[in-house]
């Protein structure tokens, strides 16, 4: 993979307060290839380095913040859980509707590359609601006229979250055990550290690869 030769990449990061997003923000800020980092967040950040422009936004009215999008690449780490969202409809709004609206606004503002954290098993026709919502978000982004779309499909994410997720915490306890049985085509279902996913996002943000690409984390 060849890196872009153009210096000073401008990045838009959405979901910077999440598990993957937090790691991604740190990488973007310390990477000299990025000259400016804009973030859309639900709550203020505790730090404000010079090349960071943070905007606290109402995602139900995301179009009101379109003017703040000045970027070459958008990195989307938006995501919630059924428990946190409170209902299937609220979950779908965050993981599908908000993602699709962000992609639409990014295209309109001249963003050429979009990188989305999705999930292994994502499929718009899946009988599993979670996978179906993730799949629909992927379709919405892929249909936008970006120069490049990169969809990352990690399995269970490892790392310390701010909010409790009982189901994930239970799964993490057995992650080392599962890994022994997940080989070949099933290796993509192995748990993966959030910082590895974030590093991959930043790497792809500097890539000149065109088209729609899906990335798994086989280990």
Domain boundary assignment for the chain: 9-216
pLDDT tens, residue by residue, 19-53:
999 999 999 999 999 999 999 999 888 878 899 99
Q: What is the pLDDT of residues 91-130, one digit of tens each?
A: 999 999 999 999 999 999 999 999 999 999 999 999 999 9
Q: What are phi and psi of 58, to 5 degrees?
A: -100, 110
User: CATH topology for 9-216?
Assistant: Rossmann fold (3.40.50)
Helix (H) or strand (E) holding 215: strand 211-216
Contact between 112 and 85 under an 8 Å Cβ cutoff? The reply is no
Give the active site residues.
Answer: 130, 134
- Contact assessment for residue 167 and residue 126, using Cβ atoms and an 8 Å cutoff: no
Tens digit of pLDDT for each residue in 125-157? Answer: 999 999 999 999 999 999 999 999 999 999 989
Distance (Å) of CA 149 to CA 1, 152, 212:
15, 10, 5
Assign 83 a pLDDT band (cuts: 50, 70, 90). Answer: confident
pLDDT at 209: 96
Residue 25 tokens read as 């923000």
3-state helix, strand, coil in the chain (%, to 5): 40, 20, 35
Query: Which of 45-49, 158-162, 185-189 is predicted with the least confidence, judged by mean pLDDT?
Result: 185-189
Query: Can you give the pLDDT at residue 186?
Result: 54
- In terms of Cα–Cα distance, which of 1, 72, 69 is closest to 34? 72
Q: What is the pLDDT of residue 146?
A: 98
- The model carries a pTM of 0.86
How many residues are there in the chain? 219
User: Strand order in 211-216's β-sheet?
Assistant: 52-56, 34-41, 9-14, 73-76, 113-117, 148-153, 211-216
pLDDT of 77 over the 60 cut: yes
């Amino acid at each position: 993979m060849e890196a872009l030769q153009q210096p000073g990449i401008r990045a838009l990061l959405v979901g910077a307060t999440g598990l993957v997003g937090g790691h991604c923000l740190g990488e973007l800020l310390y990477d000299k290839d990025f000259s400016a980092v804009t973030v859309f967040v639900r709550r203020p950040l505790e730090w404000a380095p010079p090349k960071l422009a943070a905007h606290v936004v109402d995602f139900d009215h995301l179009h009101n913040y379109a003017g703040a999008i000045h970027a070459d690449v958008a990195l989307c780490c938006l995501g919630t859980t059924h428990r946190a969202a409170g209902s299937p409809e609220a979950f779908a709004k965050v993981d599908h509707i908000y993602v699709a609206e962000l992609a639409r606004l990014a295209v309109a503002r001249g963003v050429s590359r979009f990188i989305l954290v999705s999930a292994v098993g994502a499929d718009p026709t899946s009988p599993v609601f979670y996978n179906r919502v993730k799949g629909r978000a992927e379709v919405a982004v892929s249909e936008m006229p970006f120069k490049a779309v990169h969809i990352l499909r990690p399995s269970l994410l490892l790392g310390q979250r701010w909010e409790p997720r009982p189901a994930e915490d239970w799964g993490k306890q057995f992650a080392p055990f599962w890994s022994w049985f997940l080989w070949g085509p099933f290796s993509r279902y192995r748990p993966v550290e959030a910082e590895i996913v974030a590093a991959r996002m930043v790497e792809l943000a500097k890539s000149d690869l065109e088209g729609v690409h899906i990335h798994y984390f086989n280990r």
